Amino acid sequence: MVYKISVSLDHSSYDIHIYNKFSSNLSIPTIILNNKNSVIITNDTVRSIIAKKKYTYINKIIKNIPFFTIKDGESYKNLQVVESIIHFLLEKSYGRDVTLIALGGGVIGDITGFVASIYQRGVNFFQIPTTLLAQVDASIGGKTGVNHKLGKNMIGSFWQPNGVFIDINFLFTLPREHIISGMAEIIKYAIIFDKKFFIWLEENLLKILSLQEKELLFCIKKCCELKARVIQNDEKENNIRIFLNLGHSFAHAIETYTGYGKWLHGYAVSVGIIMASYLSVQLNLLHECNFFRIVKILYNIGLPIKGPKKMLPDDYILLMLRDKKVLNKIMRLVVPVDIGKVKLVSSVKESVLLNSIRNCQEQIYKF
């Protein structure tokens, strides 16, 4: 084991374990194999990858555990898939002592956690995230759920995992665009909480993108520590946890508009962060030089800095009004006021928001 980070909660504390090859530590096989009624939930892509000979160390751990495999993609994060998993569990007579194991990216983690939260009023589950985005963000914190055609993550619950096991070796199986997508969430943490981390990222982007072990482990550990600290202080998003939604109101609108899976989540988050930052400039909260610094780091990673060409400002507004952060029909948006500091703004005039989205899309960036 390389690192262990504790998430201390009143009723559902757990540890995040970060490894560079978790087979070298006995805690994972012991925890998983001691649960005789475990079921692994994964997708066909991950199952195909771990079947390869180079991942025999994983197969040794999970070879005797039943699988339930779904198709890969955000478009399968829906109630129909939830129903199919529950049908399987009931058909096989799994009781309240079943333990579900989410082996995959954010989609698998969200679906598995949601099923765990509602199956027989709640069962145990573990997270084994296989994507960078899931390892630094989605697998931690207990947000679970599925999408609805009218909005992303609109059906869900808070249900903490019993443990999170991160093996960075999974990242070497990912297409490059998925590594790039995960970087958006990493940049998000730096913008919200830690200017020094932002500077470190500016200096180490290429090392992280090339999956150099030292920098990668530091980066994942840093994000996990930041999120654990937030979860411990605000598990159910009544306070500071809402800051983690920086860029997500815009991003979810993009994902819903284009159709789930057409835009990778991190790609949409990148555009969302830029739109939130541009709005902050228009509200005289963020200095323009910091705005361009945020745009530049996202651009240098290879992330998109503009939304879909055919998506109009009115399309954003319509979808953002369905966002979970809207209260009493008042839109609340997280915006940066400096690198390392954000605030929640509400009652932004619709005309201001429309003009901000339009002008941000029309902006010409030169680096």
Q: Binding site annotation covers 76?
A: yes
Has 126 been labeled as part of a binding site? no
User: Does 77 count as an annotated binding residue?
Assistant: yes
Q: Which residue has the tokens 């009493």?
A: 328
Kindly name the residue from 178, 188, 252, 325 that is annotated as catalytic.
252
- Told to judge if 121 belongs to the known catalytic residues of this protein, a careful annotator would answer yes
Q: Is 171 annotated as a binding residue?
A: yes
Say which residue the tokens 């209260």 belong to: 327
Q: Quick check: 303 and 184 in contact, CB under 8 A?
A: yes
Asked about 252 being catalytic, the answer comes back as: yes
The response to whether 265 counts as a known ligand-binding position is yes
Per the residue annotation, which of 121, 310, 349, 366 is the catalytic one? 121
3 is in an annotated binding site: no
Question: Does residue 185 carry a catalytic annotation?
Answer: yes
The tokens describing 314, both together, are 């009115």
Active site residue 248: yes
Give the active site residue among 237, 255, 324, 325. Answer: 237
How far apart (Å, rounded) are the C-alpha atoms in residues 47 and 294?
Answer: 37
Rounded to 5 degrees, what angle do the CA atoms 40, 44, 48 make?
95
The reply, when asked if residue 87 is annotated as ligand binding, is no
Tokens of 348: 């932004």
Q: Is 92 annotated as a binding residue?
A: no
On whether 94 is known to bind a ligand per the annotation, the reply is no
Catalytic residue among 17, 143, 188, 222: 143
Q: Catalytic residue, from 178, 188, 221, 248: name it.
A: 248
Does 178 participate in catalysis according to the annotation?
no
Cβ atoms within 10 A of the Cβ of 339, count? Answer: 24
- Residue 318 tokens read as 């319509």
Active site residue 237: yes
| Residue keyed to tokens 């000979």 | 53
Is 172 a known ligand-binding residue? yes
Residue 106 near residue 46 (C-beta atoms within 8 A): no
The beta-strand segments (E) located in the chain are 3-7, 14-19, 38-43, 67-70, 99-104, 124-129, 143-148, 151-158, 164-167, 332-338, 341-346
Examine the residue annotation and report whether 265 is marked as an active-site residue of this protein.
Answer: yes
167 is in an annotated binding site: no
Residue list, annotated binding site:
72-77, 106-110, 130-131, 143, 152, 170-173, 185, 248, 265
**Residues annotated within a binding site for NAD(+):** 72-77, 106-110, 130-131, 143, 152, 170-173
Active site residues: 121, 143, 185, 227, 237, 241, 245, 248, 252, 265
